[in-house]
Structure 1
Amino acid sequence: MPAKSKAQQMAAGAALAAKRGKRKKSELKGAAKSMVESMDEKQLHDLASTPQKGKPNHVTEPSR
């Protein structure tokens, strides 16, 4: 599952680092904090390895 934005890709990278023990979980904020708890290492790797080229900075959810 590729990341939809640069922000999502970077949050996944931070969560992956915390999952691997290279960063403290207490340092995480926002989406990265929830990602580390709800996703496994393979899912985080797939999101984090998405190239940033051509991705928007942020993607907003459409209003319902």
Structure 2
Amino acid sequence: MSAKSKAQQKAAGAALSAKRGKTKKSALKGASKEMVESMSESELRKLASTKLKGKPDHVAKAT
């Protein structure tokens, strides 16, 4: 699974940092706060390691 946008990649990186104990979970906001609880460390690592070249800043939310 790869990140679909730069924002998703950054959120995964923040969640991964919290999951590893380098950042406090209370410091997280938005998507990263949800990701840390719902995803495993390996899933977060895959999202956070996505190459950013050619990725949009944000992707419209599907309804």
TM-score, structure 2 normalization = 0.96
For residues 20 and 54 of structure 1, the distance between their equivalents in structure 2, rounded to whole angstroms, comes to 28
| Cα distance in 1 for residues equivalent to 2:24 and 2:55 | 28
Moved over 4 A (4+): none
**How far apart, CA to CA, are the structure 2 residues paired with 1:56 and 1:2?**
13
Residue 17 of structure 1 pairs with residue 17 of structure 2: yes
Residue ranges of structure 1 left out of the alignment (5+ in a row): none
Give the structure 2 partner of residue 38 of structure 1. 38
For structure 2, the residue ranges without an aligned partner over 5 or more in a row are: none
TM-score, normalisation: structure 1:
0.95
The sequence identity of aligned pairs, in percent, is: 70
Residues matched between the structures, number = 63
- Determine helix, strand or coil for the equivalent of 1:42: helix
Q: Are the structure 2 counterparts of residues 62 and 37 from structure 1 closer, same or farther at C-alpha, using a change threshold of 3 Å?
A: closer
- In the alignment, the residues of structure 1 paired with residue 33 and residue 61 of structure 2 have an alpha-carbon distance, to the nearest angstrom, of 20
RMSD between superposed Cα atoms in Å: 0.9
Alpha-carbon distance in 1 for matches of 2:17, 2:31: 14
Report deviation, 1:62: 4.2
